Amino acid sequence: MPELPEAESISRALDKALKGRTIRQVEVFFPRLRTSLEPLKTAGLEGLKFVSVKRRARYSVCELSDGRFLVMHYGMSGVVRVESKDIPRRKHEHLFITLDNGLIVKFEDPRRFGMVEVQEKGPDGWPKGLQGIGVEPLDKAFSGKFLFAASRGKKKPVKEFIMDNAVVTGIGNIYAAETLFACKVSPLRKACDLSEEECERIVKEVKRILKLAIKWGGTTVSDYKNVDGSEGKFVQKLRIYGKNVCPVCKAKVEKAVLGGRTSWYCPACQC
DNA sequence: CTAACTCCCTGATAGC
DNA sequence: TGCTATCAGGGAGTTA
C-alpha cells in the first residue's frame, strides 16, 4: 500500500506529469470513496492548470491555477496512473481526469479508503482540510525534544502515539513497528514513560528508515506503470513487521493489537 | 482534554 | 472444489 515514501514518490512523479497541464474533462465512475467524488464533477476544474504537486503527510497536494488544490489520499489500495485513453478502464478505477495532452489521470482504489477532493487554500498555504495536522517526520521540527515534550502526559502506547497524525504525520503501522524495533523500544510502553534519550533514538530511526524507504520507493516508482512494483522492494527490508522470529536474537516475535492494528515486536530486544 | 472504540471496503488466505 | 470466516489497513467519527 502507499505509505509515506510511496506517497512521496507518487507526488514527485505526478509533479513531472501534471505541471503546466490543463484539465479538459473530469469523469466519476463510482463516487463512494472515503469522501464522495461527486463534488469533483461540478467543481469547475475544466480549464484549470496544474501548478505543482507536493506531498504533505500521505497526501498528494496538487496546486491548481485558481489557487485551489486537488488533494489525493491513497488509503490502503489507491493507485494513480497517467496513461493513454486507449487503455481500457480497470474494474476499480473510479475517477478519470483528462489532460490537454490527451493522457488521463486515473485513480484506482479497490478498497475505497482513498480520497480525492478539491479544497480551498487554508491560512498556512496548504489546503484547508490539512490544517492542524502534525509535523512532517523529515522536518527539523520533528526532533527528540519535540517528541519528548509532546509525549508528556500521554498514557497511550508509544506505537499509537507515533502513529497519531495530530503529533507527527505519515508514520503508518509498518514504519512504526520497524522504527521501534530498530531503536529497541517496546510498542507497549506508555508514551509518557519515555526518556528524552529514547525520544531522540525514536526520532533518529524514524528519519533513517523513512529516508531509506523513500530511496527504495523512488527506485521502484521510476517504473511507474508497474502497478505493484513499488511494494516489492520495500518488503524485503522489513525486519520485524509480519515476522515470526527476531532477526537479531531469534526469539519468537510477539503480536499485540494496539489501536486496532497488529503490532509485531521482539519481547527480548525491545523493552 | 485523552483514550478507546467503531466504521468504511475488497481481496487474499485459511479452514472446513 | 467451493463455500464461509477472518483479517489487513488510515483516518474520521463517536462515546465515555
Taking only the tens place, the pLDDT of each residue in A41-89 is 999 999 999 999 999 999 999 999 999 999 999 988 888 999 998 999 9
Q: Does pLDDT of A39 surpass 60?
A: yes
**One-letter amino acid for residue A222 of the chain:** S
How many beta carbons lie within 10 A of that of residue A125, not counting itself? 7
Is residue A241 within 8 Å of A179, Cβ to Cβ?
no
User: Which one of the listed residues A2, A137, A157, A187 is annotated catalytic?
Assistant: A2
Ranges A168-182, A192-206, A229-243: which has the least confidence: A229-243
CA atoms within 13 A on the CB side of A201: 15
Please name the helix (run of DSSP H) or strand (run of DSSP E) that holds residue A235, with its range, or none.
helix A229-235
Choosing from A3, A178, A198, A205, the catalytic residue is A3
* The Cα angle at residue A198 between residues A200 and A7, in degrees rounded to 5: 55
The tens digit of pLDDT for each residue in A152-167 reads 999 999 999 999 999 9
Q: Rounded distance, CA A78 to CA A214, Å?
A: 18
Residue A137 has pLDDT above 70, yes or no: yes
Task: Classify burial at A151, counting beta carbons within 10 Å of its beta carbon; exposed 0-12, middle 13-18, buried 19 or more.
Answer: buried
The whole-number Å distance from A130's CA to C8's C1' is 26
Residue A2 known to be catalytic: yes
Provide DSSP, A131-172. TT--B-TTSTTS-HHHHHHHHTT--SBHHHHHT-TTTBSS--
- Strand C–CB A36 distance below 7 A: no
Which positions on strand B lie below 7 Å from a protein C-beta?
Answer: 2-11
**Grid cell at residue A2:** 502507499
This model's pTM is above 0.85: yes
The pLDDT value recorded for residue A217 is 66
User: What Rg, from alpha-carbon coordinates, does chain A have?
Assistant: 20
